[in-house]
A and B are shown apart, each in its own frame.
Chain A
């Protein structure tokens, strides 16, 4: 580790610290992790903000995401192009939103986006079904799934349009006892 090559300039680090919930050390570590994913692609020197994106297939191999049933959705949600290719900025952004210190509001917004599979700004029954199937690895019968979907709608849908808007979702999540403890990734 003798001669440390500078990965970021001071300003970059400051900016990252202003924009995320990470300390400078964590940002450097994140860069290390990011580089690990595609060493031939990602340069060590990031001072001139190279525009490099790592594809989804590589991102989801991270141990932090590997077992997550929603890994593809998470990565897609945070990628700028919507297809799951992450630049380093997106990468940092993702883990910042999912880290322990980020506030409930932010997490709620991103959770909503993650569970909104078809990106229509509503969680409809299709989204719910997808979520359930991913969550149980498809071990519930279709009848059970639809029953759960109906029940969920009944519980949380306050305006009766049989889909969950963000406010419905927010209301529901704000009362959930372990949303905060469960919805975070440590890196």
Chain B
């Protein structure tokens, strides 16, 4: 019934369209409600009245209308009495052959009049008119439009049309044609059944999908453009057709919003890519030096981002609140430069060393007051300080681990070596290379890698002097260990010496003696890697392995140096704390004497006369640690820049210009230009970051300093690379190494948080400086907050939760979970490996099978050739036509079979056997027929001569003779 109603609507759309909105929902429920019937009756009644009205009008005008009516009624199941004369009317009208358009026009006029008669409002009319307009537009579009969309639409129409024909009581050809014409114009979404709608929707969705995936299609641009335009037109045209009535409007709105949203997204994407800093610089470098050098700069940028966030944390939550809301400079002793230092506090040498005013500022731990809440915001300064310290470390862990996981996902594929040569051939060229020298190096490295692979392939490792290499490797490692131990001892020695100098008072010593530690560390960091490089030449490793060893050694060196430094620092902390004890005692004495003295002289206001600068104070060990780290960072940065300028720039300038007047070729010979040392630079960056993490708690300014340093580095190194470096010779894949860097970063992060946490947890804070002064331990601030800032029950809950009885099971549970996850991941990995193995063996088996088949086919081919040449000779003797015919019939049979087999591909042997069983023994020898089949297979061995076919056909008959 639903279809029926739909058809009715299609017929008298003009009239019913206004009703549609009212009855939309009922109709959708696909039930004939009473309202529906009523409506139909009403419609009929209206039509009757209309027909009466027609009689007043001229005959010619009345006809089309009545015809329309007729069609409408025909489709209806409940035929009324009027039907018969209507049928009479229909025939002449269709013959009159007026264009559908004029008819429609007339009809419009008619219906308008009808409406007026019925006293309906103008509004309805206007609506209809609009609809007509859109229909016409559609029509026009269709005429001018492209084929494909039209075809689809017509398909739908035709289907619908068939239904009309089926349901109509008297199908006549002319009527049919007319109707089709009409329908072309009147195809409206409302008239489509749900099934067709579904289809249309599918088509539209398909187009949409096509538009989205178009960019990934391997077509030429022209085709893409044409397809895009067509699909867009199609979608635009039919998108609105989906949904009905109000739903339709909503749908159109949704579609429009969707479009807008897409556009916005695209713009946003554009904006986002435009916002990535240094993208162009890195691209330029990448195109000159390949992806490995660029990977360093991308790493640098990533590091910059992290430091930016760390900087925001410390700057926004620690430094700015203290500077704005804390007590101003000079109000309390910890915020004042002490009297003896005041004269030199503004000297550049002192400031450069982060002493003087720099030391007593927000840059360092000691400046912060232990006041619980500051300013009108009641900002909890000590708590904030502590939480920022924790948050810095936590955030760093999170970011590093997440990045590592992502990298691991990306590089999870392709760890087997089954396509060694192919990969070398097809994927080893780095398409980014745009620099001739780089290209030359790449050519050379590819050639050597091929030669290596060939050698490996030719002989599976001739190990005649394995003892020598082993000995050399052991020797090299021994030497490296010696170097590491030596450098460690050197640093320890120097630090001890510097402590002695410090005890003597720094002013009595030279600049070198004061900066010995940093200088020695920097120098070691500069020269030891070179030494390692020389030593690694002994080992004769594959370059990639050698590089990893080298990286590992440098890492060990840096780490050793750093830890020696930290151990020395710990010694110093202990010294300071002893000093602090003495001073603490002295201060009480001093205060007592002060009070005693003042009491004896004047008892009114003695405390006011004491300037904060004059108050004796303890050696703030936290500030000292912070200062050490800041100095280390500064000297490290300076060394990096100076090495860059001297080692790269000056060298390049000298080589370039002295080359004109030198006895050998400097550019090609000994000094030549320097390479960009990716691994060394990355390691430097990583260690620098480690120091930041370590020292950030005691010197909140460290992230800021690091941001500055990285910023400058970016520009300086970009410039240096482009102007005075040559691309490196060593092959170093960037893609595989990313996680190697990340792993090192993680190790460093862990190792650098260890000492920081150790000092925070075990050493009591200084008594007169920093946000935690007066507390036993730094983390007491948490407890204090819990007690005073949170409701009592919270503290209770917390204390229960921190009860060992709860914490221990929780830790146990976590350990169990970790163990479980780890074991499952292990089993997955194993399963993965198993599957891979299976796949590989299967592949190999397939390969073997196919090769065998190919070999067999070749043999068969030769045999067949022989046979065919033989038969060619025999053919001259043969004549019996009768038998020939018979055999031909048989051949037909067999050839049809052949075709069948040919489709099955090249796995011919089993079908052959089948055939053998089926056919009489008089058939041609198996190899031949097999052979024939084989080459009959489409697209296989095109070289096989076609003419051999008739000959082969003859074979059976000849055999019969």
Contacts and interface: CB of A to CB of B under 8 A. Distances in A.
A79 to B, nearest CB: 9
Given A78-B220, A178-B733, 11 more contacts: A15-B228, A18-B228, A19-B225, A23-B273, A64-B434, A67-B436, A68-B431, A70-B429, A96-B215, A140-B450, A186-B286
A103 to B, nearest CB: 5
Interface string A73-117: 000001010000001011011001110001101100111000100
A156 B422 contact: yes
A39 to B, nearest CB: 21
A177 B443 contact: no
23 contacts: A17-B266, A18-B228, A20-B215, A23-B273, A25-B274, A70-B429, A80-B222, A106-B216, A106-B217, A128-B425, A135-B425, A135-B428, A135-B446, A136-B446, A136-B450, A139-B443, A156-B419, A156-B422, A161-B854, A175-B413, A175-B418, A176-B414, A177-B414
B853 interface: yes
A21 B270 CA distance: 11
B229 interface: yes
Interface in B817-855: 843, 846-847, 850-851, 853-854
B218 A109 contact: yes
A19 B421 contact: no
B435 interface: yes
Contacts of A48: none
B850 A137 contact: no
4 residue pairs, one from A and one from B, having the closest CB atoms: A89-B221, A67-B439, A160-B850, A177-B414
B427 A19 contact: no
Interface centre among A17, A109, A174, A178 (most CB of B within 10 A): A178
A37 interface: no
Contacts of A69: 429, 443
A75 to B, nearest CB: 13
Contacts of A90: 220-221
B859 to A, nearest CB: 14
A179 B229 CA distance: 33
Nearest to A131: B425
Interface in B386-439: 411, 413-416, 418-423, 425-436, 438-439
Nearest to A145: B450
Task: Decide if the interface of chain B is mainly helix, strand, loop or mixed.
Answer: helix
Contact of A160 (B430, B431, B436, B847): B847
A74 B425 CA distance: 16
Contacts of B451: 140, 144
A155 B422 contact: yes
Contacts of B217: 106
Contacts of B922: none
A5 B228 CA distance: 26
B168 to A, nearest CB: 45
Contacts of A96: 215
Contacts of A78: 220
B469 interface: no
Given A89-B222, A111-B426, A160-B847, A185 B419 contact: no
Interface centre among B217, B434, B734, B843 (most CB of A within 10 A): B434
Contacts of B734: 181
A106 B430 CA distance: 18
A144 to B, nearest CB: 6
A160 B443 contact: no
B447 interface: yes
A175 B735 CA distance: 14
A148 interface: yes
Contacts of B453: 148
Contacts of A139: 443, 447
A102 B216 contact: yes
A148 B454 contact: yes
B418 A155 contact: yes
Contacts of A92: 221
Contacts of B552: none
A19 B226 CA distance: 10
Nearest to A91: B221
A9 B411 CA distance: 41
Nearest to A17: B266
Nearest to B420: A155
Contacts of A140: 447, 450-451
Interface centre among B215, B217, B736, B854 (most CB of A within 10 A): B215
B431 A185 contact: yes
Contacts of A93: 220-221, 224
Task: Decide if the interface of chain A is mainly helix, strand, loop or mixed.
Answer: helix
A182 interface: yes
Which range contains the number of B residues in contact with the other chain?
A: 35 or more
Interface of B: 211, 214-218, 220-222, 224-225, 228-229, 266, 269-270, 273-274, 283, 286-287, 291, 411, 413-416, 418-423, 425-436, 438-439, 443, 446-447, 450-451, 453-454, 457, 733-736, 843, 846-847, 850-851, 853-854
B457 A147 contact: yes
Given A90-B221, A140-B447, A18 B211 contact: yes
Nearest to B273: A23
Contacts of B733: 177-178
A156 B418 CA distance: 9
Contacts of B228: 15, 18-19
Nearest to A182: B430
B218 A106 contact: yes
Contact of B431 (A98, A136, A156, A161): A98
A111 B446 CA distance: 19
A139 B442 CA distance: 13
A25 B275 CA distance: 13
B735 A181 contact: yes
B907 to A, nearest CB: 11
Contacts of B457: 147, 151
A158 interface: yes
A76 to B, nearest CB: 13
A178 B427 contact: yes
A131 B443 CA distance: 12
A152 B447 CA distance: 16
A72 interface: no
A54 to B, nearest CB: 14
B228 to A, nearest CB: 5
A165 B255 CA distance: 43
A115 B422 CA distance: 12
Nearest to A78: B220
Nearest to B212: A18
Contacts of A33: none
Nearest to B288: A63
A148 B422 CA distance: 9
A182 B450 contact: no
Contacts of A148: 421, 425, 450, 453-454
A59 B457 CA distance: 40
Interface centre among B283, B426, B851 (most CB of A within 10 A): B426
Nearest to A20: B215
A155 B443 contact: no
A80 B425 contact: no
Nearest to B431: A185
Contact of B854 (A20, A137, A160): A160
Contact of B847 (A15, A21, A110, A158): A158
A86 B423 CA distance: 29
B860 to A, nearest CB: 15
Contacts of B291: 181-182
Given A80-B220, A136-B450, A186-B287, A176 B423 contact: yes
Interface centre among A23, A97, A140, A182 (most CB of B within 10 A): A182
Contacts of B853: 160
Contacts of B443: 69, 135-137, 139
Nearest to B458: A147
B796 to A, nearest CB: 56
Contact of B216 (A103, A136, A137, A185): A103
Contact of B215 (A21, A135, A160, A173): A21
B224 A19 contact: yes
B850 A159 contact: yes
